[in-house]
Amino acid sequence: MQKTTAHNMPWFSFTNAYLKRVSIKFISTLYTTESDATNDVS
């Protein structure tokens, strides 16, 4: 069981980091769009 956990850990960490990055980008995009509607080119 420990081997499976150790094997899945990198994948989980990568997915977690990816989701976090996407969430941050999505949230900042929302804030940017709300505060300045003309700045949605990024």
pLDDT in tens, 13-26: 889 999 999 999 99
| Beta carbons of 7 and 14 less than 8 angstroms apart | no
DSSP code string of 17-42: HHHHHHHHHHHHHHHHHHH-TT----
Phi-psi region of 26 (alpha: psi -120 to 50; beta: other; left: phi over 0): alpha
pLDDT in the model for residue 13: 87
Q: Is residue 3 part of a domain?
A: yes
In a domain, 17, yes or no: yes
Evaluate whether residue 41 is within a structural domain: no
- Residue 9 predicted with pLDDT over 80: no
Domain membership flag for residue 16: yes
Please give the residue range of the domain that contains residue 26: 1-34
* pTM for this entry: 0.46
Does residue 9 sit within a domain? yes
7 part of a folded domain: yes
Residue 11 · residue 19 · CB < 8 Å: no
**Structural domain count, the chain:** 1
Contact 32, 39 (CB under 8 A): yes
